[in-house]
Amino acid sequence: MTRGYFTNSGKLALFIIKRERVVSAVWLVLLAAFSISVAPAISAMFPGAEARNNFAASFNNPIMVAMMGPVYGIGDYTPGAMYGGMMYLWYIITVGAMNIFFAARNTRADEELGRAEVVRSLPAGRLSIIHSAMLAGFALNAAVAVLTGLGLAVLNIEGMDMAGCMLYGAGAGATGLFFAALSLFFCQLTAHAGGATGASFAALGVIYLLRAAGDVRGNEILACLSPLGLAQRSQIFVANHVWPIFV
């Protein structure tokens, strides 16, 4: 009954990928380069186990927990655990920001410029535009996951095994996909791309504060209501839990 709503979504998704290839490639290169370049630097700054454990103890205070999230791996604070604790939250926030811009640019912005009306005049379903944006977003975040994971894995840093590296990438991709969907939601509620983007970033701020409140209070339920807090429960490079990614 609803099949006609998504007519030619795949073709539109391929068009979006082609149109976005330069912008998306720049984002992917910058994200991968940033994550790959920081890991060796963190490992070099704290070469000994004692120095890392002392840093973890100082890191485990309400202010830092509110900023970065809970500290996992205290007692055996490997360079991998340190990297995950310091970088993971801000990396997935950056990926989320990329997806907010991506979703608004390929839906509401196209409607403002009149491109969407041209698409709707062709054999396309009523929901094909938003559906194709989500399909293209899935491809973009899959690329983020693979490039990030493999990029970290080739560094061969202590405590950063292949499973943890790929989970790091998968967590970034899954969180990015959530924020793409969130941005598409606000695109349906606002008249302009700027309004949708602003509302999405406001929601991102609320989600961050919700995670911070839950982490500082030690309230796991409250923290896991935030997609950011939920993603951190994977305990990257420590326990490597997969279930938060699926949730």
pLDDT in tens, 141-190: 999 999 999 999 999 888 899 999 999 999 999 999 999 999 999 988 98
pLDDT digits (tens, 9 = 90+) for 69-94: 898 988 788 889 999 998 999 999 99
pTM given for the model:
0.91
Torsion, Cα of 19, 25, 27, 30 (10° steps): -160
Q: What span, in angstroms and rounded, lies between the C-alpha atoms of 217 and 148?
A: 31
Residue 104's φ and ψ, nearest 5 degrees, are -65, -35
Confidence band, pLDDT 50/70/90 cuts, at residue 16: confident
Contact 238, 72 (CB under 8 A): yes
What separation in angstroms does the CA of 61 have from each of 4, 58, 68, 122? 54, 7, 10, 58
Name the residue among 183, 167, 179 with its Cα closest to residue 245: 167
Structural domains counted in the chain: 1
State the CB neighbour count (10 A cutoff) for residue 154. Answer: 11
How many C-beta atoms lie closer than 10 Å to residue 113's C-beta? 11
The one-letter amino acid code at 179 reads F
Cβ atoms 66, 212 nearer than 8 A: yes
pLDDT band, residue 126 (cuts 50/70/90):
confident
CA 59, 43, 170, 13 torsion-angle sign: positive
pLDDT at site 232: 95
- Parent domain of 97: 3-246
Q: pLDDT category, 40, cuts 50, 70, 90?
A: confident
